[in-house]
């Protein structure tokens, strides 16, 4: 038998378990030219929240009562396809199913002999690409500059900070617990980290952590944290708007300060960013990330939840900051 997770209803506000349904169905039979995949790791990502709503966005909404999809690592368990052998591991955007068949289209084979499977969902997958391409293509950090990263202890943020350190920057991270603050400084080499949940005046705390002001801001969260950064930007600052998790579950338009005066006064750049826009640069970015990983210049952490049925809960946990580094589900 096979298990599949469907979108049961569109979440209103914070997602909850009743928004998802787990069903049991027949395991698929493969035909000629097809392979049978067994899911081994599932990536849960904040952007999936956007696809669960039917608002217009850069990615099509998930359909109600149909399987949800995300980045998945799977093993080929049966093959009627000349390009894939039993035992191969692949990475792809696949459905939340224990078993699914494929024609091979859109699958990338991954080498799991030197690197853990789950790394292809994190540092060597969309996470790493987002961090590297957002930072280098829009942030363009220069040696000696100061960069602030929000959502710093998460999947993207923890990689951004390390890359900025490799590039010779002063790196300040913002995260939600003292444990994460400690991890950023001791494991990931951030110069300073701030716990936004225990800091009353974020603008002042950022000013103190950035005595020379903020040259680059890698924004994963939006909302009041990002407003506080604006008070500290330097002339010609670059702000990469990668995500806005603090507002993804809002049901009405959130109140925010006007960014225009800050941008004008500082001749600053604020640019929205979608990693898919840079697909042509994925091969060179992955090559660089893999080289840093192999040299020990880059490291990563992940939070692993076990069990197919726990995918929805792992996804919901992102909004409560329950992950350190990349959140993945091991099947």
Range in contact with ligand NAP (rule: CB under 6 A) among 107-115, 185-193, 227-235, 320-328: 320-328
**Could you tell me the smallest distance in angstroms from the CB atom of residue 314 to ligand NAP?**
11
Residue 130 binds to ligand NAP (criterion: CB under 6 A): yes
With CB under 6 A as the rule, give the number of residues binding ligand NAP.
Answer: 32
Residue 231 binds to ligand NAP (criterion: CB under 6 A): no
SS3 for 22?
strand
**Could you tell me the smallest distance in angstroms from the CB atom of residue 116 to ligand NAP?**
17
User: Cα(157)–Cα(123) distance, rounded to whole angstroms?
Assistant: 11
Range in contact with ligand NAP (rule: CB under 6 A) among 7-15, 29-37, 219-227, 252-260: 219-227
**Could you tell me the smallest distance in angstroms from the CB atom of residue 282 to ligand NAP?**
12
Residue 135 binds to ligand NAP (criterion: CB under 6 A): no
Q: DSSP letter for 62, please.
A: P
User: Cα(275)–Cα(131) distance, rounded to whole angstroms?
Assistant: 9
Residues 11-50, one symbol each (x = binds ligand NAP by CB under 6 A, - = not), give ----------------------------------xxx---
Range in contact with ligand NAP (rule: CB under 6 A) among 97-105, 137-145, 270-278, 283-291: 270-278
Residue 161 binds to ligand NAP (criterion: CB under 6 A): no
Helix axes 202-209, 223-230, angle to 10 degrees: 50
Q: Are 218 and 134 in contact (CB under 8 A)?
A: yes
Residues 6+ apart with CB under 8 A from 153: 173, 175, 176, 177, 180, 181, 183, 184, 324, 325
Q: DSSP letter for 69, please.
A: E
Residue 226 binds to ligand NAP (criterion: CB under 6 A): no
User: Cα(60)–Cα(47) distance, rounded to whole angstroms?
Assistant: 12
């Amino acid at each position: 038998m096979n298990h599949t997770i469907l979108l049961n209803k569109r979440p209103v506000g914070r997602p909850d378990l009743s928004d998802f349904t787990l069903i049991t169905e027949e395991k698929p039979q493969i035909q000629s030219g097809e392979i049978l995949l067994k899911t081994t790791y599932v990536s849960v990502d904040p952007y999936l929240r956007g696809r669960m709503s039917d608002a217009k966005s850069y990615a099509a909404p998930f359909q109600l009562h149909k399987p949800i999809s995300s980045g998945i690592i799977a093993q080929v368990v049966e093959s009627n396809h000349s390009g894939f052998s039993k035992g191969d591991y692949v990475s792809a955007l696949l459905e939340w199913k224990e078993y699914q068949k494929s024609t091979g289209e859109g699958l990338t084979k991954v080498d799991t002999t030197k690197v853990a499977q789950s790394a292809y969902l994190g540092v060597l997958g969309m996470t790493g690409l987002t961090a590297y391409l957002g930072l280098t293509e829009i942030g363009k950090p220069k040696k000696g500059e100061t960069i602030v990263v929000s959502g710093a202890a998460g999947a993207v943020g923890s990689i951004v900070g390390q890359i900025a350190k490799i590039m010779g920057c002063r790196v300040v991270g913002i995260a939600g617990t003292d444990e994460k603050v400690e991890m950023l400084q001791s494991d990931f080499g951030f110069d300073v980290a701030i716990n936004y949940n225990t800091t009353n005046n974020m603008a002042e705390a950022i000013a103190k952590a950035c005595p020379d002001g903020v040259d680059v801001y890698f924004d994963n969260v939006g909302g009041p944290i990002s407003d506080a950064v604006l008070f500290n930007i330097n002339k010609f600052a670059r702000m990469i708007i990668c995500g806005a998790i603090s507002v993804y579950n809002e049901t009405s338009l959130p109140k925010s300060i006007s960014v225009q005066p800050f941008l004008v006064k500082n001749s600053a750049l604020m640019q929205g960013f979608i990693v898919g826009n840079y697909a042509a640069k994925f091969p060179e970015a992955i090559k660089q990330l893999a080289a840093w990983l192999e040299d020990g210049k880059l490291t990563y952490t992940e939070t692993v939840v076990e069990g197919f049925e726990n995918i929805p809960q792992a996804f919901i946990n992102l909004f409560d900051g329950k992950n350190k580094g990349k959140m993945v589900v091991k099947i």
